[in-house]
Amino acid sequence: MKKHSALFITAIALFILFGGCNTEQNQEIGTSEYQQKVDSLIKIMTLDEKIGQLNLLASGWDVTGPVMDPNYKQLIKQGNAGAVFNAYGVDYVTELQRLAVEETRLGIPLLFGYDVIHGYKTIFPIPLAQSCSWDLEMIEHSDRIAATEATAEGINWVFAPMVDISRDPRWGRVSEGAGEDTWLGSKIAAARVNGFQGNNLADEQTLLATMKHFAAYGAPQAGRDYHTVDISERSLLEYYLPPFKACVDAGVASVMTSFNEISGVPSSSNHWLYTELLRNTWGFKGFVVTDYTSIYELIPHGVAQDSAHAGELALKAGIQLDMQSSIFIKNLKNLVKSGKISEKLIDKAVSDILLAKYKLGLFDDPYRYCNKTREGNEIMTQASKDFARQFVTKSCVLLKNENQTLPIPETVKKIALIGPLGNAAEDMLGNWSAAGWAQYCVTLFDGLKAEAVDKNIQIHYEKGCEIVGLSTSGFDAAIKAAKNADFVILALGEDRNMSGEAASRTNLNLPGVQMQLAEKIIEIGKPTAVVLFNGRPLTIPELDQKAPAILEAWFGGIQSGSGIADLLFGKALPSGKLTMTFPHNVGQIPIHYNMKNNGRPVDPTNPEYRFRSKYLDSPNQPLYPFGYGLSYTNFSYSNLKISSPEIRATDTLTIQVTVSNTGKSDGEEIVQLYIRDLVGSVTRPINELKGFSKVFLKQGETRDVIFKITANDLKFFNLDMEYTYEPGKFDLMVGPNSASGLKDSFSLR
């Protein structure tokens, strides 16, 4: 009998023996029953087969790092892979799954992972843009669509959400996160896990989520990617870890290591982080995967002498699945034989990974995500594209709008679109664009043209200059186009690879000669609006001074141009608010809204006094603060009331404010609540976001907005590192952003 058919029969027999339990069973019962099956399976696995489950390989596609072992198909057939990533499409996934299921002794199915960061094929705005919508439902729904599309093409595990908090826009990966605030970032983190995993992993449209990068990857020295993170335990617990805890509380299935060290200990060998905190304290039950070759990187980090030592440190720390370094597969067997590691550690890792496969239903049917019908019907549907377009309008932030430059007046009949981002399809995808294709992207030029048809408007596009580069040869044509137009739109910013991984910048100005082009165009004096395309806050004080209007559009995905055009023509109303501070200059970084007061804060009544915490050559304040964003109308705040000037630990404080639309159009306002703990056993931030409410108000409409606060909302890590609240006086502020609003105070007794 041919070898493979014997194997096939063995595999079928084993499926019957170990096949997953009825997927209708509820999750909890399933888990304990699954655990019994996992334990039985592990009992018959050889050491080689166990170690094979701890190896994660990149297929040849879409590689996001060095490919360590191109003959991944051979490794799968030998049982030396538990999972593959960057492989998608029903046919390809079926081919690789068949190798594992029918050509190995036990036929254990593979996980198929992929970086689905802001959409799978229907690409949505980059996560930083999405966070500026402050719309948790839309964020969750976008990941629900992403999971539906990804599972329709064979993916059952995503390397998302990225929940790294960062206060440093030099670091390009801020584009992948939810900005600088821990409280909002934690809400968004949980929404993303729910979007991907739904409430039943056995459902074929749900998949495993991965919280990453654990931990504190967003705080590298000098904003330089992969670089040293050296922060206090207090900062780690207070600002960088809570979004990960929110993911664990939401039931996230896996965790990915971060490349960085934390105060001397690289994450990939950090036993405190991965065993004492993640498992023993937080109760995490899923599995841990490394980032790309991060076990190997323990050697250049300088904590491992060689690969074997790196593998030993990682496994002992609680790391379980080795992405692409091939260190586990090449060293664990010898480490067991030499007694340096116990096989029990390997069994625990295998158990957590097999349990995830059971929960997905892969032991019931390894090909359950290989459904050609779904692949044909559930990807880039009109409903998904319509949602993507709406999400663009909610993610953009109106930074300036002098004299109601926007929306474009109906009298306008000739528009000049000028700038290197005006017709840049691929850049609209942003970084980490998964299976998204540039040809499906609506550029700003496309979007304006589509709108112009029934408005009988002429759109003339001139690139003017490149994104980077010093040539000004395109300026004359651009200037001529602007002079011939009634209205000018400047499309400026970064290309999509100037943010994301390995994309740190020390200079955050507009690249190339774009600012010079903008000056030449703006000085012509036509009504002009700048649309910014970028993956991180930029330092644009000159542009802020000279441009009549600025719309921050980030990278909006496949419907960028349509959504932006909706905003520019007033078919949609801008409501986004910044979730990351825009500095005046790089010298101010790190700069964020919730900084400490220090012992010599500037005295506003005597700002010139020298011996205060300020610069000789820059303001302390940012260009645009956290929470800032304009609309086409105006909102006023009045009647701030609190239910009591004093609460006990068991009370609820009710805060009410009246918000009125006093402008000339309808609008949506994100009303924000900030609290300041005036005196603590440790220093406390001058501001902390503790609530928000999105309210749509028609022109002239007024609404009371209510927030509720309890002592639990006032907790922090006190002098003894206990997470608790302390009695004392608190200021509160309710307003349109972190720098302004109506104020009051209360005491916690």
Bridge partners of 669, per DSSP, are 695
Draw the binding track, 511-530, toward ligand GLC (x: CB under 6 A; -: no contact).
--------------------
**393, 573, 575, 696 from 668: Cα distances, Å:** 12, 7, 6, 4
Q: Does residue number 212 form part of the binding site for ligand GLC (CB under 6 A)?
A: yes
> Rg (Cα) of the chain, in Å, rounded?
27
| Nearer CB in complex with ligand GLC: 65/728 | 65
19 or 65: whose CB is closer to ligand GLC? 65
d(C-alpha 438, C-alpha 141), whole Å? 23
Write the CA distances from 333 to 47, 52, 297, 341, integer angstroms. Answer: 7, 10, 20, 9
Instruction: Indicate the residue among 209 and 310 with the shorter CB distance to ligand GLC.
Output: 209
**CA separation for the pair 175, 534 (Å, rounded):** 9
The Cα–Cα gap between 180 and 167 comes to 5
Estimate the crossing angle of helix 136-152 against helix 182-197, to 10 degrees.
30
The residue from 103, 115, 143, 462 that contacts ligand GLC (CB under 6 A) is 115
Nearest distance in Å: CB 269, ligand GLC: 17
Q: Is 322 in the site for ligand GLC (CB under 6 A)?
A: no
Of 65 and 619, nearer to ligand GLC (C-beta) is 65
**Which contacts qualify for 712-715: CB closer than 8 Å, 24 or more apart?**
713/675, 714/675, 714/677, 714/748
Amino acid at 45: M
State the Cα–Cα distance between residues 120 and 433, nearest whole angstrom: 7
Q: Report in angstroms how near the CB of residue 586 gets to ligand GLC at its nearest.
A: 24
CB-nearer residue toward ligand GLC: 176 or 352: 176
The answer to whether 314 and 320 are in contact (CB under 8 A) is no
**Interaction of residue 153 with ligand GLC, rule CB under 6 A:** no
34, 124, 159, 296: residue in contact with ligand GLC (rule CB under 6 A) = 159
DSSP single-letter state for residue 452: H
Pattern of binders to ligand GLC over 65-104, x per CB under 6 A? x---------------------------------------
Nearest alpha carbon to residue 629 among 556, 576, 554: 576
Question: Least CB distance from residue 225 to ligand GLC, whole Å?
Answer: 9
As given in the structure block, the two tokens for residue 5 are 């058919």
x-or-dash string of contact with ligand GLC, 541-560, rule CB under 6 A: --------------------
Helix (H, G, I), strand (E, B) or coil at 692: strand
Identified catalytic residue from 115, 168, 181, 291: 291
CB of 212 to ligand GLC, least distance (A): 6
**Closer to ligand GLC by Cβ: residue 151 or 384:** 151
Does residue 230 have an active-site annotation?
no
**Cα–Cα distances in Å, from 96 out to 65, 75, 103, 376, 665?**
21, 11, 10, 20, 56
Smaller CB separation from ligand GLC, 240 or 475:
240
In the complex, the smallest distance separating the C-beta of residue 404 from ligand GLC, rounded to whole angstroms, is 42
The nearest distance, CB 88 to ligand GLC, in angstroms, is 13
| CA 493/CA 48 separation, integer angstroms | 51
3-state helix, strand, coil in the chain (%, to 5): 35, 20, 45
Binding to ligand GLC by CB under 6 A, coded x per residue (else -) over 39-68, reads -------------------------xx---
Nearest residue (CB) to ligand GLC, 115 versus 181: 115
b (16+ CB within 10 A) / e for 123-139: bbbbbbbbbbbbbbebb
CB closer to ligand GLC, 170 vs 584? 170
Of 190 and 289, CB closest to ligand GLC? 289
Q: Smallest distance, Å, CB 128 to ligand GLC?
A: 15
Q: Which of residues 645-704 bind ligand GLC (CB under 6 A)?
A: none
Lookup: tokens for 237: 């617990």
Q: Which CB atom, from 64 or from 643, has the smaller least distance to ligand GLC?
A: 64
Among 291, 322, 427, 462, binds ligand GLC (CB under 6 A): 291
CB of 501 to ligand GLC, least distance (A): 5
Of 133, 89, 80, 142, the C-alpha closest to 114 is 89
Distance CA 155, CA 86 (A): 9
The residues, any chain, with a CB within 8 Å of residue 339's CB and separated by 6 or more, are none
Among 34, 292, 475, 725, binds ligand GLC (CB under 6 A): 292
How distant, in Å, are the alpha carbons of 57, 292, 300, 310 from that of 326?
Answer: 8, 11, 16, 11
Tokens coding 143: 């990941």
Nearer to ligand GLC, 65 or 570 (CB): 65
Q: Nearest approach, Cβ of 429 to ligand GLC (angstroms)?
A: 16
Q: Out of 501, 552, 677, 688, name the contact with ligand GLC by CB under 6 A.
A: 501
Q: To 5 degrees, how large is the angle CA 179–CA 575–CA 573? A: 145
- Smallest gap from residue 435 Cβ to ligand GLC (A): 13
Taking the complex as a whole, how short is the minimal distance between the CB of residue 297 and ligand GLC, in angstroms? 11
Give the count of beta carbons closer than 10 Å to the beta carbon of residue 453. Answer: 9
How many residues interact with ligand GLC (rule CB under 6 A)?
A: 8
* Residue 66 CB, nearest approach to ligand GLC (Å): 10
Structure tokens at 602: 């500037």
Tokens of 511: 């690249």
728-737 vs 740-748, strand pairing mode: antiparallel
Q: Which residues have a Cβ under 8 Å from the Cβ of 344 and sit 6 or more positions away? A: none
Residues in contact with ligand GLC by CB under 6 A are 64-65, 115, 159, 212, 291-292, 501
Q: Active-site residue numbers?
A: 291
